Structures are given as structure tokens and as C-alpha cells.
Structure 1
Amino acid sequence: MKIYLAPMEGVVDSILRDLLTAIGGFDYCVTEFLRITNTLYPNHVFFRHCPELHQQSKTKAGTPVWFQLLGSDISCISDNAMRAVKLGAFGIDLNFGCPAKTVNRHDGGATLLKDPHRVYDIVHGVRKTLPTHIDLTAKIRLGFEDKTLALENAIAADEGGAAVLIVHARTKKEGYKPPAHWEWIRKIKDVVNIPVVANGDIWTVQDYLRCLEVTGCSDVMIGRGAVSMPDLALQIKSTVENSDISPYSWEQIRKILSKMFYNCWQHDDRGKYPVSRTKQWLKMLSRTYSEAQQLFENIKIIRDAHLVYDIIRENVINETSDNKPQEKV
């Protein structure tokens, strides 16, 4: 079984990828999408988007990172895919699932699922460009308005040359509303010849086991579940392998939250960025930890980064003041 960390736009950046893969359980990560229109981006854009390129396209924990591209211009996507590979990308992932209206309006993401021929042409065009040793994966939804073309789109990605197909079990129209239609992933798995990765509504170990039963897919991609329960991948692996690993305590999560704040501060010392990212993550953690909701309530109207950092670290043991950011806000 393989567990992928999902590319949640505006949430799972390189900082969070490092923290979550350090906990363990993840086999692969995928970057947030780089939107391709008619531009071949300069090197610094790729490094900013995926700092892991500086370390053999792996997180500090050694987890490989796929570079995700989104767009519809086959030539331009191919050129940018090759540049990413030359800069060290482990693999390329193509986004056919983004439901954002702005992205869809500009002919990217899930809107491409309206025409399986376009899915095939894009996958095939990029595959022809890449070296044979570089894997190309594709992420799709079950469709745009409905599921009529779900199987055709999956077959198109397969026949186009994708090595792995990741399927989010909803249409664009359904967004992220429950339930995820796992039964459709089973249908897709039955008509393609490549590994299928199930994605959508895997919040707990029990969800994973039910998803496995319904889809037949041992490989999964988790996003919101991993952000709300940072050790979810580790817990899934321990269950499958019959090992005994205790769930992370709030004290452990709070230490990781503190580290995230500090790393965000190093990334942007103006203070606004680490404060907003911390509040964002706390809201997501509240699904699993009631303490996260209380901590969020304590800091939600505070903008001073030093004060927020002190509140986060309060009562966190084994943490020295040496890690406190010294920049003035």
C-alpha cells in the first residue's frame, strides 16, 4: 500500500509537507499546482514552488515529491514539465480535478473532464516529452457536472500514458460535499490497467478500511484528513501492519504547531503569514482535537506574532526559548 499526501492549494505547502512527512506514514507528496498558460517559467519559480528540488525532490524526511502542473496548452505544459525534471523533479502530476471557478474559467482543472479526448491528448503529449524513467501521474474527479464520462476520462488518462491514476470520488459540481462516491472508484479500477489511488473523505483509519473494502484500492491520497489528524497516515500504516502505535497527543501536536509557526516566520518575518497559517491549521485540527478549537478562540483576534507564538508555546515542555523568532513585527 502507498499513501499520498494531497496537494491542497493554499494549505499543504513545503512547510506542511515537511512537518507531516516527518511524522511518518506517507510514501509520496504532490505539490500544489503550478498553473500553466503560455509561459515557460524561469528556474526560480520552480524552486519557489517546490523548494524540495534543492534536495533531490524529497522532503527532509526523505519522502519523494511529485511536481503538479495544471493547464491545457499541451506544448507549454510539456516544456514546463521538462524544465521541472531538469531541475530535479521526482515525477510530474497533471491536475484534471481542481474545481475552482477561476481555474475552470481559464480552461484548466476539472473543466477538461468535459472532453476525454483532451485528457488523452494532454497526458499523451506530456508523456512523449518526458524521459522514460520519469513517472507521469494524473489526478481526476468523477466528472464536471455529472459522472457520465467518468470511465472514459479514466481510460483516456491510462491510454495517454499515465503511470498512476488518482481519483477524487466527486464531480466538480459536488465540490467537497459528502459523501465521496467510492463505488465509482471501483468502477474505474475495473476498466483501467494502471494503479488507482482513492481520494476523498478519508478522515480516520476506519474510513480507510471502508474505502479499501468499497474501492479495492489499497493506495490512497489523503488531504483534509491528514491536516486535521497529522498522524493519520502513520495510524493507517500501523493498523495494516498490525503494529502498535499510540495516536498523537495534543501536547505532541502543539509542539508541531509551534514548529510550523517558527518555520513560517523564517519564510516571511513580517508576522502576518505565520499568524494566518496558524489560525488556518488550528481550525482544521479542531475536527480531531477540542484543544485546538480552544487555542483558536484564544488567538483568533490577535495579530501580534510574538504574542501568538508565546500563547502557542505555553505549557509546551522540552522546548527552549532559543527557537523563538527574534524579528520585530
Structure 2
Amino acid sequence: MTDTPPPSNDAALSVSELAASLKRTVETNYDHVVVRGELGRVTLARSGHMYCDLKDEKAVLNTVMWKGQVDRLPFRPEEGLEVIATGRLSIYEGRSNYQMIASSMRPAGAGALMALLEERKKKLAAEGLFDPEHKKPLPYLPRTIGVVTSPTGAVIRDILHRIRDRFPVRVIVWPALVQGDSAAGQITAGIKGFNAMTGEDRPDVLIVARGGGSIEDLWPFNEEIVVRAAFDSEIPLISAVGHETDTTLIDYVSDARAPTPTGAAEIAVPVRSELLLQTGEAGERLKRALVRRTGQAKDKLAAARLPR
């Protein structure tokens, strides 16, 4: 006679019931989480959503961030960067997979970005992008200046005001975000767009500028696409990013680096009044030299006519 198990009072759950229960438990208890990890796979979809992995040496967490949050990121997520992500856990019942829905993300301290910056700097330097022989001379009297920056704020006002005070010339502004994940693409488009111009609209010199900020704020000017666009620019380019103590990778490939946006305007054009004074003084010296030479010629002519 075979032994039969005693009857159980436990009710059997269906797979979908169990999955739904797990979903409720996880999403209720982990509706706000802060996770630190290294970015693994990073995919920016055409929709603007970002799909990535957060990982450490023992586990991987699938993570998604929707377009609205991605657009507000102060940096460009890259594989290998250590970050701190805030969000909630969600479960897909159909496959019992869980993932993190991230609402925000930031580098895990400035140290993480500095390490990435040094690695990228070494890579670009090894390619020769920073070599001095690639620097182009700036025009002494540009007719048109192209400026890639935000169309609002103190930076563009300072540049326009300084140029107007020193030597009024035509200025064309290419509006671009200068902070956030979309900034690098817009700055690159501005540099390439000016270079694609022809005729009288084509600037004689470019200024790429923004005000000061943290390393996260200035990060778009460390992005490879921006650095390579500045390097490839056929138009001489002045970088003016941040304050005097701030240095970004675009500074190494630009043809001149200004300590501030106002300083870029001072590099781009001379002072008109000083130039007029110099040309006036040069004209006076030329006139005096001409009078002196004319007098000497008259004296020689008169001496040659004297009887011997």
C-alpha cells in the first residue's frame, strides 16, 4: 500500500496570480530607491528613451529612463561611468522581470567625471588633436563673427556689448543649449553649420561660449563630437567656456582659448579707437618722413646746380 500525502489546506496560486502579487509587493515596497552602480550597456533609442544596465561586481539591474528625464540630464551617460540613480522598481508580469524606472541620474561625484575626462583627454591627445601645428591664425579684422551659445542670458549680452565697444562688426548667433544631454549635439551642429555657410554670410572667426559652472554643467564641451567638430572647423575658433580656472577639452583643440566670454570678444576684434590712433600716428610719421625726404632731395638738387 503506497503512502499518500495528507491533504493540504493551502490554496494553489496560478502563475499570473503569483506574478501579480509579486508586482504589488515589489512596486509598493520599492517605490523609491537610490542605487549606485556602473553604467553597462547604454542605448539611447530614437524615441529619446534611454535603456541601460546598472551593475556592480555581483549583479546587474536593467534600467529605463523616459525621454523627459533624459533631456534634463546634466551629462551624457556613457558605459563605464559610475552613477547614482533615483527611481522606482517595476515588474513586468508577463515574464516576471523587474527593472528600475529612473527619474534622475547623476555621476557618482566629480571624481567619476574627472577620471572619464582624463581617459578621454589621453585618447584624443594620442590621436594628435591637441598638436600645436593644427592651430590656425585668427584674422586681425574679421568682418563677421559667428557665436555658438545660448541666445539668452549674460554670455551673449557680454560678447555683443564688448564687440560693440571695441570694434563693431557683424555678429551671427547660432542658438544652442549649453547644458544638458542635448547640448553637445546642438553645439556640434552650430560649429558645422557655420562652416557649411558660403558667401558673405560665412563668418571669419567663431566663438563657442558659455558661463561658468560645475564639471557636470560644462560637460558638453568635453564630449568627443564637440571636440572633433572644433578640430575639423576650417574657420578659426575661439573657445570661451566657463571662468579662467575652468578647462574643457574644446580648449585644447581651439585655435585660441579665452578665459571668459568677454575675453573672447577682446581676442576677436581690436579696439577701434586705438587702431585709429595707431593709423593716425603712422600717417603723421609717414608725412614727416615724406617732408624730410623731399627736403633732402631739394637740397641735393640745389647743390647739383651750383657753379663749380
TM-score after normalising by structure 2: 0.29
Structure showing the higher helix proportion among its residues:
1
Larger Rg: 2
